[in-house]
Chain A
């Protein structure tokens, strides 16, 4: 099976930078996704990492270290609308390609 760990809640100030960590244990790693989910809404895709390193996409970047079973999502120039839950999802090798989701990190951005 898989074990995915994320902090439950984080707070940050508008305009600042925040890093949301995700650690995982899995056999046969085959990719890691980050999703954003506003309360009561659908998760929306943010980033995908399968190789080690940093993937940058505008204000959001995601980093992966497969040897450490570790990823982080970096959010820069925080805006109030970034207040949401951030879900880390790990896909393992196999025929079904189904990612397992962590419980999510609730990010609160305050003025």
Chain B
């Protein structure tokens, strides 16, 4: 158990819809990262938050947005969903120490029909 909690585990929806994925980081971790993993792709970094502030952006589409709340949990919002958005979405958390690894949640499997 990594200590990172993601909900829901599975999500099935239709094209054009909007969904929200939720992540609670490990106790004491201030950084939260969101990743997308498709079948034929590696882990693609989307966005990072640190203590409520956006810290870095990766390959995140404009249709996607995220935020981190005062209690440090984070939400990833995906809108105008397309078939290609079907993927595993992982949240990870870490401290800011550069030699510390990221700890990943179990992921949310999003299926777009």
Binding site for B on A (CB under 8 A): 30-31, 33, 35, 40-45, 48, 50, 87, 91, 95-104
Contact = CB atoms under 8 A, between A and B. Distances in A.
Contacts of B43: 43, 87, 101
| Chain B CB within 10 Å, residue with most, of A50, A95, A96, A100 | A96
Contacts of B94: 97
Interface residues of B, number: 27
Contacts of A87: 42-43
Contacts of A103: 41-42
A102 B107 CA distance: 19
Interface of B: 2, 4, 31, 33, 35, 41-43, 45, 48, 55-56, 58, 88, 90, 94, 96, 98-99, 101-107, 109
